[in-house]
Structure 1
Amino acid sequence: MKSAISVFMMIFLLTSVSVEAISQKQLERVEELKKEAVELLRHKEFDKAVPVLNEILSIDPFEKTAKRYLMLARQQSMEPFCKEAATAFMHDDYARAIDIWEKILRMNPDDYRFSRLIEITKNLISDKAINDMYVHADEFLKKGDKKSAINELEKILFVKPSERRAREMLATARQSTSDIRTKKHYKRAEKYMKQKKYDLAIEEWNKILEIDETQQEAKRFIASAIRAKLKVQYARARRLYEKGDYLSARDHYYKIMVDNPTDTNVKSIISNLDETVKIVSRLSRKGKTFDMMRMALKNHIAAEGNRKAAIVAAWYAVQLDPMNSTALAIKNFLEHKYVAILNTLEPPIGDMNIIDQYLFAALNNIYEGRYDRAIEESTIVIELQSDNVLAWKRLGSAYFALGRKDKARKAWKKALKLAPDDAELKRFIRQTK
C-alpha cells in the first residue's frame, strides 16, 4: 500500500497542468496544492487531503491524478468509520451502525452502497428489538438513570420516528432531567437578584434556557433583571453628571445603550454630554459658584431638564464669580444653544443678583395677574435653591390665585417645613381647606 501511494505521489508531482485556459497564477496555485496534498497523504491525514484535492479539481477538472488521489483519500478516510460500523453491526447495535453509515454517506453522497446498508439494517430491527429497548428504558427509569433511559428511547425513535409512546416517554424523561438541572440555576439566580448582582442572575437564567429553551419563566426573569439593572445604571449615571463627573457619566450611558439601544432619551443625554465635555470634563470643587455651574449643566444634560433654569443658573454663576472662565464658557454655550428660550427670559439687571431679581419679578407678576409667569420664575428659583422659602411661598400664592388649591397647599407645606414658625404660611394653608 505504501509503495503504491509513493508511486502515485511521484506521478502527481511530476504531472503538469495542460489546459491552456488556466492562468499562470492558477498554475502556481495548483502546484502549491499538489505539494500540500502529498504531505497530507504522506502523514495519512486523509480527511484534510480531501478539500485540498477538491480545490485542485475546481481549478483543473481534468487533473486525472488528483481524481485518483481524491478517490484514494476518501476511501482511506472512510475506512475507520467502516470498521466501527461493522463492529457495531456485529454486536447488534444497529442504531449505532446506521448512525455511522449515515455519516459516511454525508462524506461520500455518491456511494449508494451505504444507502442500501442503512435500509437493510433498519429492516433487521424487529418489533422485538424495539420492545427490548422499551424494557431497558423502563428499567433505567426505575433506577433513576434517566440518561441511559433517554439513550434507549432515542434509539427507538431513530429507527421508528412514528413511535408515539417513545416520544412521550422521552419528553417526560427530558423534562425531569431538565427540572433537576435547572433547579440549581434558579436558586443561584434568585440569590444574585437579592444581592442586586443582575448580570450574574441573567447568566444563570441563560444557562436554564440552554438546557430548556421553552422555559418561559426564565425569559420573564431575564427581562425583569434587565429592567432592575437598568434602573440602577440610570440612577448611577445621573448621579455622576449631577456631581459634575461628566466623562464617567457619558461612559455609563454608553453601557446603558448596549442593554437598551432603543432609548431615545439616552441618545439625547449622550449628545448633551458630548457637548458638555468639550467645555469641562469635571466640576468637583465646592462652593456656590461651582454649585450653580453644575446646576446649569445638569439642566442642559437631562432629557427632562429645565433649560430656562440652566441659563439662569449660568448667569448666577457668572454673577458670583465674574472672572471664572469656565462659568463664562458655560454661560456663552447655553445662550447660543438655547437662543429661542433665551429670548423668553428676563436677563440680569444691574447689580441685583438673579435670585432676588426673579423673586421680585414673581411677586410683581402676582400683583399684576400674570400668574403663569410668577409660577415659572418661582420654579426657576426653586430649581437653583430648593430651600428658598420665599420662592415656595410665591409659587403657592400664584397657584392659589389660579384656583389650584391642591398645588398651592403642597407648595406652602414645603415652605412651612423650611420655616415651621411662619404664622403667615399657617394662615395660607388654612385657606386651602
Structure 2
Amino acid sequence: MRIFFISAAVFLASVSLCPGADDIGALYNSAVKNFSAGKYSDAIRCWQRILEIDPEQVPPHKMIEFTRGKIKQELAPRVQAFEKNMQAGKWFIAHDAACRVLDIDPAYPGLAEKKDKLGEIAGIVEDCSGSGKVPVMLRKSVNAYFDKNPALMFDAAIYAEQLNKDIALGKKISALLFYMEKKYPEARSRVKLIAGMDLMKQMLQSSLDSIYKADYTGAIMFCDRILALDENSTLALMRKGSAYYALNNFNEARKNWQLALKTDPKNKDVKKFLNLLDRKKKKNGGKK
C-alpha cells in the first residue's frame, strides 16, 4: 500500500504540466479514493479513462495490473465460499457470498446471472443442507438447474417431493417445482408419472420392461436416469450391464456389473454374470 500511494503522488506531480492535467488529476484522485474504499472496479475504470485521454501515461498500466491482482486476491475466498455453500445447499448464504464478490467485481464472469437465479431459489428454499435423501435430491435438482440439465432437475425434485414427509418442506418443494415448470415447461411435460409408484421404482420397472422388449438402448437410458439420482443403485447397474451384454458390448457390461458388485459384494446374480463373461472370454481365446 505504501508503494501504491508513493506512486500516486509521483504520478500526480508528473501530470501537473500535461495538457488536460485537471481532468487526469481528478480521475487519478477518484481512482485513489475508490481503491482506498475497496471499490477496485471503479478505480480501474478511472485509470482506463486516463489512458483514453492520454495513452502515453505509464502509471495507470501498473495501477490497473496491481488492482486486478488485488481483486483476484480478495475474491478467492469469497468465490470459494459461494461455491462451497452452493454445493452444500446453503443457498441464502451462497447468494450473500455472490453479492460480496460482485460488490468487488461486478463483471465477474457468469456470477451475476447465477446470483439472480440463486436469489429466486433462496426465496423459495433458503437452506437444504441436511443429510437425508430429500435434501440430497433437492441439491441435485438445483445443481442441475444451474447446469442447465432440466431432465435431472425435474427427476430429482419430483423424487424429493415423493419421498418427503414434512408438510412445511412439502409446500416449499411444490413451490420450487412450480418455479422450475415455468422455466422449462416442455421438459416437465416429458416426465410421465404412474400413480402409486415413486419415480425411482417407476424407472426401475421401465428399465426391466425395456429389456423384455429388447429395447436395450431405452433400458440404458432409464438406468442412467436412475444412476443420476443414486449412483449406488445395484439394480440399475445390473440392468445396465445386461443391456450392454445384449448389445454385445462386453466391456461396458463388465464395467457396470463390477460396479454393481461393489455396491453389493454378496450379490450372487452379479457374480454369475461376471463368471459368464469370464467363460466367454476364455472361450474366445482371452479376447474381450
Per the shorter chain, which TM-score range? 0.5 to 0.7
> Residue 341 of structure 1 is aligned with which of 181, 187, 198?
187
Q: What is the aligned partner in structure 1 of residue 273 from structure 2?
A: 428
> Residue 156 of structure 2 is aligned with which of 309, 313, 324?
313
**2:106 and 2:112 in contact (8 A); partners too:** no
Q: Distance in 2 between matches of 1:268 and 1:409?
A: 42
> Residue 296 of structure 1 is aligned with which of 141, 144, 164?
141
The structural deviation recorded for 1:385 is 2.0
1:277 pairs with 2:119: no
Paired letter, 2:177: K
> Residue 173 of structure 2 is aligned with which of 309, 315, 327?
327
TM-score relative to the length of structure 1: 0.41
Within 5 A, what are the aligned runs for 1:160-175? none
Deviations 1:287-313 (A, max 9, x none): 333333233222223x2x542222122
TM-score relative to the length of structure 2: 0.59
The structural deviation recorded for 1:355 is 0.9
Deviations 1:396-417 (A, max 9, x none): 2333444444433332222111
Check 1:358–1:268 CA distance in 2 against 1; reply closer, same or farther (3 A cut).
farther
Q: Distance in 2 between matches of 1:283 and 1:401?
A: 41
TM-align CA RMSD:
3.6
> Residue 392 of structure 1 is aligned with which of 225, 237, 247?
237
Asked which structure has the greater CA Rg, the reply is 1
Q: Distance in 1 between matches of 2:194 and 2:182?
A: 20
Paired letter, 2:179: F
1:357 pairs with 2:202: yes
Deviations 1:49-100 (A, max 9, x none): xxxxxxxxxxxxxxxxxxxxxxxxxxxxxxxxxxxxxxxxxxxxxxxxxxxx
Check 1:261–1:389 CA distance in 2 against 1; reply closer, same or farther (3 A cut).
farther
Q: Secondary structure at the match of 1:240?
A: helix
Within 5 A, what are the aligned runs for 1:42-191? none
Q: Distance in 2 between matches of 1:252 and 1:279?
A: 18
Q: Secondary structure at the match of 2:176?
A: helix
Paired letter, 1:321: N
Q: Distance in 1 between matches of 2:160 and 2:113?
A: 25
Check 1:416–1:235 CA distance in 2 against 1; reply closer, same or farther (3 A cut).
farther
Q: Percent identity?
A: 26
Gaps of 5+ in 2: 1-13, 19-58, 282-287
Q: Secondary structure at the match of 1:279?
A: coil
**1:245 and 1:282 in contact (8 A); partners too:** yes
Gaps of 5+ in 1: 1-102, 108-209
The structural deviation recorded for 1:367 is 2.5
Q: Distance in 1 between matches of 2:274 and 2:83?
A: 35
Check 1:245–1:401 CA distance in 2 against 1; reply closer, same or farther (3 A cut).
same
Q: What is the aligned partner in structure 1 of residue 5 from structure 2?
A: none
Moved more, 400-409 or 271-280: 400-409
**1:293 and 1:330 in contact (8 A); partners too:** no
Q: Figure out how many residues of one structure are paired with residues of the other and give that number.
A: 211
Q: Distance in 2 between matches of 1:401 and 1:290?
A: 37
